[in-house]
Structure formats: structure tokens, C-alpha cells
Structure 1
Amino acid sequence: MGCFLSKNGDTDRIARWRATGIVALRDSKLKTFPDEITKLDTSVRTLDLTHNRIVDIPMEINKLIKIQRLVLAENLIERLPVSLGKLQSLKLLNLDGNRITSLPDELDQLVRLERLSVSRNSLASLPMTIGSLRNLVLLNVSNNKLQSLPESVGSCASLEELQANDNLIEDLPSSVCNLSHLKSLCLDNNNVKQAPRNLLKDCKALQNISLHGNPISMDQLQQMEGFQEFEARRKKKFDKQIDSNVMIGSKGLDEGVDL
């Protein structure tokens, strides 16, 4: 760990962090995690260290027990400390664009976590313990090296959006059918040949499926039980977007099915 702050201005900067609960050091050319941050203990609610060159996260991060938003995107992080699981107030964890090869099992202790994004890393698998994240609404694991998703993902009872584009996934676990709140399933550019038989039947909130760049065909989806009900939800969402003049990125409106 290194010292980022100079003596001049230390007091004012730390006082501001304590008063606001927000520590924002984006694009600060940091190579190490600043000691001063962990010394703030319960004061920190949001920590944003995006776009630095940080390699290691110290075990002492567990001192930030009141933190709710932790953004460590675009760094050089290769591994996460097991002490990360002690941050049980955490609601958002963004680790996009690092070099992480595995997630610690202790992630299951983040019982309040609602949004987990680990896209553009080097994950070959996800821990089985991820199923303990019962409040997780968004899971983004796109652009990794995943060959499968764990069966336990079906226990993420609150999950609404699952993004797993640009991996090596061949099969989806049947437990995905347990995700009764799932609205969006994105699996572009994988090796998915077929979907779980009851996916459209059981995922009654599903409005969007994106499977561009997979061997699976539209005919396979159309023949699945529940397709007509899914199609009705998809069209309702699409029509609502048109009525609201909602545009989704450069591709235009999100129609809900892309094979």
C-alpha cells in the first residue's frame, strides 16, 4: 500500500470524505490502494477508484463495514481478498475491466448485494456460493472465459437481469427456470445449442432474450412451451418503448429477441 495524499491538503480532503461518505479517486494514476481510505472505517459509503493501475486490494478493506457502493473498474486487479465478504452493507460491486481469474467463495456473505458486475475479466468459473446472493438484481459476467454457469445461480431469487455475453457457455443450468423475476437474459456470442426446456414456461417475467452468435435457432425457441406468452410480454415491452420514444444505444429499440 502507498500514500496517495500529500501533506498539504490532507486534512481538508479527509474531512470532506468523512462528511460526505464519498471517496472518488477516478483517473488518479494510483498504483496502490491508499492507506488513508481504510483508516476512514465506518465513514465511507461510496468508494470509486475507477481507471487507475491498482493491482492488489488490501485485506484491511474489511474495515469499511458501512460501504454500499464499491467501484474498482478499469484497474489491474488479479485477485480479491477473502475479507471482501465482510462488507455486508455492500449493494453494488463493480469490478469490470480487470484481470480477475476467480471470485472468492466468501462472496456469499454479501447478503445485501444487488448489483454485481465483473465483465471483461478472465473468469473461468463462478463460485457455487453465488446462489446465496438472494437480493441480487443484476449479474453481469460478460467477456470472460466461462464455459458454464453454476447450478446455484437459480437460487438468486431476486435476479432480473443476467448478462453473460462473449463467453464459452454451451449449456444453461436448468435452475435458471427458477428465476421467476428474470426479465432479461443476454447470452450473445457463446456456444449455446439449446435452452432449458421450461425456460419460457417458468420464467414468467422474461421479456428479453438475446442469443446472437449462438448455434441455437429461433425455431427451437418457438417450439418451447410458453413461447406465445413470452412473445406477448416482449411485444408489450417493445410497444411501450415506442410509445415512450425510448432508444437503446446505437442499435435502436430493444425488441427482446436476437438470434
Structure 2
Amino acid sequence: MTDPAGAIKVNNNGHASQSDWVLVGEGSLKGVTLMVSRSSGEVVSLSTRCCRDDDRFDQVPDLTKYPALAVLDLHKSRYITEFDASVLSMPHNLRRLLLSRCEKLCAIAPSLGTLTNLTELNLYDSPLVASLPEEIGNLTNLKKLTFGGSNGVTNKALKALPESLGKLRSLEELNLDSCKALRTLPESVGQLKKLTTLHLRACKQFSDLPESIGFCTNLVDVVFSKCTSLKRLPESIGNWSELEDLNLTKCKSLTVIPDGIGDCKRLVHLNLRACSNLESVPVTLENLPRLRTLDLTMCDSLKMVPTWLVGVSWRMDPLDFSDRVKAQKQLAEKKASMEE
């Protein structure tokens, strides 16, 4: 490794470690923290989290002399406007690219597609990023994609995701919270067979889901809370055989829940709180053996509820079905023992 000028070794406080932290004191990487592998002497991680404002980049510096770099954390690099992967060595070892809180970042160059070893891409709280290049489909090892904002930091620029999203066959987590202009997901989303987590909180323009979403059969945790324009869920959600949590809080345009939800046999928590235009819930909910809670609080337009809910104070409190689940489990165990 070529040592950066002014590198200062940071004390590990006696803790066992396979690497050392180095704080760069001057030069193009001033203020940056590097992690150096003890075995190889190579820089494996670079972080701007501890940089003072005067040291933050206007553009990402040349990093081609760090071929072993596995983590590039440009968190709070508030003055960069574009990320171009050409600043990295090729071939490369980059696994994690963190571009969170890059407040002026608005362009991701097509060269992103060259980062084929990437497992995580984080664009959280970078509100001006309006698109991802089609070349993102080359990132076949990507497991986690975070694109959106926290409370008070919304992305109003992103209107659509590229159709090449479906090529991310290793993707497990997709977080699109507070993407205010996003209207739907590409049809290719159904090709994400390993997807377990899908979060779209407060995507106010999000109005529809493609039928192909039903092919994402490994989904466990799905959140559409505060998607106030979401009008329907496709019948194909019945294919979500691993689903445990479905949160539809404050989906004010939703009027019905498809019958297919009764095929989500692992569903544990269903939150419909403040779905103010919801007119009915399907009778097929009774077919869910693991359902523990159903929140229908403030669903003031409900006209029809299944007969098995009649007499329960479903307008006031979340329903707790823990006893029913316990009884069904005991019955199944008794039946199994009798068969033996």
C-alpha cells in the first residue's frame, strides 16, 4: 500500500483486531478514516463519517491505488454531485457502497454497473437522486438496496426504478421509504426470488403493485404504511407463503383486501390501522393459523366483517388471536400424537 500523507495510526485500546484504523491528516484524503489490514497492509475500508466540514469532498478523489478496498463509506459527503465508479481500481473488491446523506448527489453514473462484487448499496437520505442507471442490473451479488429517506428527508425526484432491477437475483432487502414521487415497481420485480424485506413507507404517490409481485414468494416483512394513494393489492399476494408481517397503516385509498391473503399461511401480524376507506376484510382471514394480531382501529368505513369477528371490539383495539393460535397448535400436536 502507498501510505497517504499525514496518516496517523488510531489506538485500538487493546482490543484484538485484524486491522488498524488510520486517520489521514493531510492531502486529498484529509480527515478520512482508513482501515488497514494487518496481514496484507492494504486499505480495506474508507469512511468520511468523522470528517470535519472543511475536509468533505467536492468530488470523490482517485482511489485506484487501493485495489483491496471493500467498504467505501461516503456518508454525509454533502458537496459531491455525482458518483462515478471510475475512481476505483479495476478489477476491484468493493462490497459495500454507502452514499447516505449526500445531500447534493443527483447522478449515479452508468459505471456503477462495473461494481459486480457489491452486496450493499445505500442511498438513504440522499434526496436529489432521481434515477438509477439500467446498468445496476449487472450487480448480481447485491443483497441490500436502500433508497429513500427518514422522517423529514424525502426523495421527491425518483419516479421509477429501472426494469433491470429484476436482474438483481441475490437481492434480499429493498427499502424505498419516503420516495414521494414513486408510483409503482417495475414488472420485473417478480424475478427477485430471494427478496425477504420490502419497505415503502410514506410513498405518497405509490398507487399500484404489478401482479408479478406474487412471484416474490420469500417475502417475510412487507410495509406499505402511509402509502395514501395505494388503491389495491393484487390477488397474487396469496403466493407470499413465507409472509409474517404485513403493514398497511394509513393506506387511505385502499378499499378491499384480496381473498388471496388467506393463502399466506405464515402471516402473524396484519396492520390495517386507519385504512379509513376500507370497506371489508375477507372471510379467508380465518384460514390463517398463525395470525396473532389484526389491527382494524379507525377503519371507519368497514361495512362487512367475517362472522367470526362479530361481537369482538374490532373498532377499538387490535385483535389478539394468541389464544386461538395456541389452541390450534395444541390440537395439531394432539392429532400428531394420536397418529403415532
Normalised TM-score (structure 2): 0.61
Q: CA RMSD in A?
A: 2.9
Aligned to 2:321: 230
Higher relative contact order (CA 8 A, sep 6+): 1
Q: Give the 3-state SS of the residue equivalent to 2:213 in structure 1.
A: helix
What's the offset of the Cα at 1:215?
Answer: 2.2
Give, in angstroms, the shift of residue 25 of structure 1.
1.3
Please give the alpha-carbon distance, in whole angstroms, between the structure 1 residues aligned to 2:199 and 2:282.
Answer: 24
Structure 1 residue runs of 5 or longer lacking an equivalent are: 237-259
Q: Which protein has the bigger strand share?
A: 2
CA distance in structure 2 between the aligned counterparts of 1:134 and 1:64, rounded to whole angstroms: 21
**Structure 2 CA distance for aligned equivalents of residues 114 and 176 of structure 1:** 17
Give the distance between the partners of 2:260 and 2:239, measured in 1 at CA.
8
Query: Is 2:268 the partner of 1:179?
Result: no
- What is the correspondence of 1:120-199 to structure 2 with a 5 Å cutoff? 120-121=202-203, 122-144=205-227, 145-167=229-251, 168-190=253-275, 191-199=277-285
Partners of 1:229 and 1:5 in 2: CA distance: 53
CA shift in 2, pair 1:231/1:97, >3 Å: same
What letter is aligned with 1:78?
Answer: K
How far apart are residue 212 of structure 1 and its match? 1.8
Question: Higher helix fraction: Structure 1 or Structure 2?
Answer: 1
Percent identical among aligned pairs is 26
Match of residue 118 from structure 1: 200
Letter in 1 for 2:323: A
Distance 1:123 1:69 in 2: 21
Compare CA radii of gyration and give the structure with the larger one.
2
Is the CA contact (8 Å cut-off) linking 1:113 and 1:135 kept in structure 2?
yes
What residue identity is the alignment partner of 1:32?
Answer: A
Which residue of the partner structure matches residue 91 of structure 1?
A: 172
How much has 1:105 moved relative to structure 2?
0.9
Equivalences for 1:1-259 in 2 at 5 Å?
5-9=59-63, 11-12=65-66, 15-17=69-71, 18-19=92-93, 21-29=95-103, 30-35=105-110, 37-41=112-116, 43-52=117-126, 53-74=128-149, 75=155, 76-98=157-179, 99-121=181-203, 122-144=205-227, 145-167=229-251, 168-190=253-275, 191-199=277-285, 201-215=286-300, 220=305, 223-224=308-309, 230-233=321-324
Contact 1:135 1:158 survives alignment (8 Å): yes
Task: Provide closer, same or farther for how the CA distance between residues 187 and 118 of structure 1 changes in structure 2, counting only shifts above 3 A.
Answer: same
**TM-score (normalised: structure 1):** 0.79
- Cα deviation code 1:84-126 (max 9, x no counterpart): 0000000000011112111111100001100111222111111
The range that moved more, 117-126 or 81-90, is 117-126
